[in-house]
Homo-oligomer: A and B are copies of this chain.
Amino acid sequence: MQRPLILVTNDDGITAPGIRNLVEFMNEIGEVVVVAPNSPQSGQGHAITINQTLTFEEINLEGPQKDFSLSGTPVDCVKFALDKILPRRPDLVVSGINHGANSSINVIYSGTMSAAVEAGVEGLQAIGFSLLDFSWDADFLQAKEQIQRIVKKVLENPLPKGVVLNVNIPKLNKEEIKGIKVCKQADAKWEENFDERINPHGKKYYWLTGYFNNMDKSEDADETALSEGYISVVPVKFDLTAYEYMHDLKGLLE
């Protein structure tokens, strides 16, 4: 049987430790092609590059996989891989491992998850992985077996059309991780707080900062599962229609 073809991408850039670990884990499961940004793309959301051009190059990194770096966003990487690089449609697209959480509302800001969502839009199986540790020296090995297990399950039991997975891994030792919990996206938000500075010419400028405000303590929220030591898995869809409100809205507007 042909080994599954796995496309790997991320938003931290092709040389980030998170993606290099994910590539190693995937090399044990299938034939791996990496198409990832040539520079960090955090917070890019579902951005695509339409007013600039793109370039790519094959680079030589350790391992049996092929590596291509692209001058675009994570979503660009998925589109470009499908159109110009991959020999056939991949059996799976994995994105990450992100350095930092993409739980709750972060799914909409996340380049990591946007790559997975784009793959879903393309009709492909897709999973985004994130570790709750921003450090470049983070330990990604702790969750190797769980990541490989999730990937194999999805390869054997394809997700329904229109659904991709958002997997977040707590910053814990392997022994401390309690297992996997399927969750909903917690109701949470970032409270923005722009940091004002003065440049050498006397002009004000601002850094976007903020703090995370989790309003959702429910048992099945991803933030709850993570805080309890579980790996959270949220099935994510990209039909954003609020079907439950259509009837009332018809009464209001039609």
Contact = CB atoms under 8 A, between A and B. Distances in A.
Count identical subunits in the complex: 2
Interface string A161-203: 0110100000000000001111011010100111011000001
Given A40-B51, A54-B205, A54-B206, A192 B242 contact: no
B45 A208 contact: no
B46 A187 contact: no
Contact of A55 (B107, B206, B240): B206
A241 B249 contact: no
Contacts of A187: 162, 239
A110 to B, nearest CB: 9
A252 B153 contact: yes
Q: Provide the main secondary structure of the chain A interface.
A: mixed
Interface of A: 40, 42-51, 53-56, 75-76, 79-80, 82-84, 105, 107-109, 114, 117, 121-122, 150, 153, 157, 159-160, 162-163, 165, 179-182, 184-185, 187, 189, 192-194, 196-197, 203-208, 210, 220, 233-243, 245-246, 249-250, 252-254
